[in-house]
Amino acid sequence: MDYREFFSQFKHLSKKRGTGGKIKVYPEDFIVIEEPIPSIFEGRKYAIFLLKKRNWDTMAAVKEIAKRAGISHRDIGFAGTKDRHAVTYQYISVPAEARNRVEQVEIRDVELRFVSYGRFIKLGHLLGNRFRIIVRDVSEDALDRTKEIVRELREKGGFPNYFGYQRFGERRVVNHIIGRLLLQGDFEEAARLFLGAYDGSMEGDEARKNFWETGDVERALEEFPGFLRYERTLLHRYKETGSWKRAFLSLPLPIMRIFIHAYQSYLFNLYLSRRIEEGLPLNEPLVGDIVVQVKGGIPYRDRTYRVTETNIEFVRGKVGKNQAMVSGPLFGFAMRRAKSLPGQLEEGILEEEGLSLETFKKLPKPMAEPGGRRELLLRPIGLTYGYIPEVGMCFRFFLPKGTYATSVLREIMKDH
């Protein structure tokens, strides 16, 4: 199953016919510019560089920079991972004493420019990202259709804030399934899927196919290519311990969390889709809903309050002024639960999946997930668009961190 088939289960909020078209035909069609939090430029212990990359994963680029500069990749900080099939600009921090070595680094399709001194950049140290995106191969009436869809969605309060396909895997759409298996304590089946799932179009698929059919660890260690380093780590650790659980726990924590977060994201998308399907409003709070505060268009997900019979008119006013947004569940052991009708919808999803919030606490300690809330709607800031003859539609907008440009375009293109 590819990501288009996977995403077809999630409902569109817009009823209008989409424009069709293709994104990321060329890396230059998808430009991402990071907006960091200003405090990264405070201090003198680290040198801050602007990293421009083309057709590079963020982590792969960071590791290559570290290798060429003779430092540990763990000493390089960045605020978030960026699309590979794109031209992206983001800030990285390196130890101040490594500035000269990093300035000497030359890598194809990677540019580094020293900006200033500052602090170590951690994941999440950004406000959001600016995008410039070209959609090619669109129909002749793409501009008119876009106008209709944007008008319709503005009336409905925004775009559905789905987690994008990047969260689940573009070709091997299995991250969320692995997460579910880990929650269920089925480390063996999780390992089988992580190691053996293949789509037939990627390097290493023959080795994955063989493992899927035989489960032969020795053969897999011979056949798995070196670039599948996490898969090889898992295989080596299993060979040493005979335990798939211990093998998983040998992986870096961010890698393990990818799977749990993907499953949480799947459940959030499911909740959002069900709410659309059942005709429940996304831009109007219901009694029992949890709303998140909004300031300057940026949601503050750690500042929430529950909608009750007594405060509902007050909350409606806040939502109407874009000072609050209705949220959905990121299931976890410390998540603030909705009540009444929204709460019943949340509970129904948990029951279908055979879960309780406590399940997220029973994971091995490093992987235990507290959960939280996430706004149901996405409001691109400064959205502009136009038609370029013989090229296609061009979109520009800013999105807060943790949201997906592909989810905005999905609603316009209706391609999946």
**Are 283 and 361 found together in one domain?**
yes
Give pLDDT, residue 346.
97
Structure tokens at 32: 């991402």
Give pLDDT, residue 214.
94
Separation between Cα atoms, residue 173 and residue 2, nearest integer Å = 6
Give pLDDT, residue 72.
94
Residue 259 lies in a domain: no
Give pLDDT, residue 397.
98
DSSP string, 6-74: HHTTSPPS--SPP---BS-SSGGGEEEEEEE-GGGGS-SSEEEEEEEEES--HHHHHHHHHHHHTS-GG
Q: Which of 235, 251, 267 is the last residue of a domain?
A: 251
**Are 124 and 33 found together in one domain?**
yes
**Are 235 and 307 found together in one domain?**
no
Angle of helix 253-277 versus helix 175-183 axis, rounded to 10: 100
**Are 227 and 364 found together in one domain?**
no
Residues, the chain: 416
Alpha helices in 302-404 (DSSP H): 312-320, 340-353
Long-range residue pairs from 169-175, CB within 8 A, at least 24 positions apart, any chain = 169/3, 169/262, 170/2, 170/3, 171/2, 171/3, 171/199, 171/201, 171/202, 172/197, 172/198, 172/199, 172/202, 173/1, 173/2, 173/3, 173/6, 175/258, 175/259, 175/262, 175/263
Q: Are 304 and 370 in contact (CB under 8 A)?
A: no
Angle of helix 187-196 versus helix 205-214 axis, rounded to 10: 150
Q: What sign does the dihedral 55-58-59-61 (CA atoms) show?
A: positive
Q: What letters, b where the CB count within 10 A reaches 16 and e where it falls short, cover 158-195?
A: bbbbbbbbebbbeebbbbbbbbbbbbeebbeebbbbbb
**Are 39 and 106 found together in one domain?**
yes
Residue 75 lies in a domain: yes
Q: Are 272 and 410 in contact (CB under 8 A)?
A: no
* Per-residue pLDDT of the chain in tens (416 residues, 90 and over written 9): 677 788 889 999 999 999 999 999 999 999 999 999 999 999 999 999 999 999 998 988 999 999 999 999 999 999 988 988 999 999 999 999 999 999 999 999 999 999 999 999 998 999 999 999 999 999 889 999 999 999 999 999 999 999 998 888 777 899 999 999 999 999 999 999 999 998 877 788 999 999 999 999 999 999 999 888 889 999 999 999 999 999 988 888 878 888 999 999 999 999 999 999 999 999 999 999 999 999 988 888 989 999 999 999 999 999 999 999 999 999 999 999 999 999 999 999 999 999 999 999 888 777 789 999 999 999 999 999 999 999 999 999 999 999 999 999 999 999 87
Give pLDDT, residue 227.
86
**Are 157 and 11 found together in one domain?**
yes
Residue 146 lies in a domain: yes
Residue 111 lies in a domain: yes
Structure tokens at 264: 């949480």
Give pLDDT, residue 365.
76
**Are 112 and 184 found together in one domain?**
no
Provide the CATH number for the domain around residue 228.
1.10.1510.30
> Looking at the annotation, which residues are catalytic?
83
Question: Which domain covers residue 355, as residue numbers?
Answer: 279-375
**Are 214 and 297 found together in one domain?**
no
**Are 234 and 308 found together in one domain?**
no
pTM (two decimals): 0.93
Q: What sign does the dihedral 108-46-48-113 (CA atoms) show?
A: negative
Helix (H, G, I), strand (E, B) or coil at 372: strand
Provide the CATH number for the domain around residue 49.
3.30.70.3160
Q: Are 237 and 250 in contact (CB under 8 A)?
A: yes
Separation between Cα atoms, residue 124 and residue 34, nearest integer Å = 11
Residue 230 lies in a domain: yes
Provide the CATH number for the domain around residue 345.
3.30.2350.20
3-state secondary structure 91-103: EEEEEHHHHHHHH
Residue 268 lies in a domain: no
Give pLDDT, residue 233.
92
Residue 99 lies in a domain: yes
Residue 346 lies in a domain: yes
**Are 153 and 203 found together in one domain?**
no
Backbone angles phi, psi at 216, to 5 degrees: -80, 105
Give pLDDT, residue 204.
86
* Strand runs labelled E in 119-206: 126-136, 159-160
**Are 355 and 402 found together in one domain?**
no
**Are 206 and 156 found together in one domain?**
no
Domain count within the chain: 4
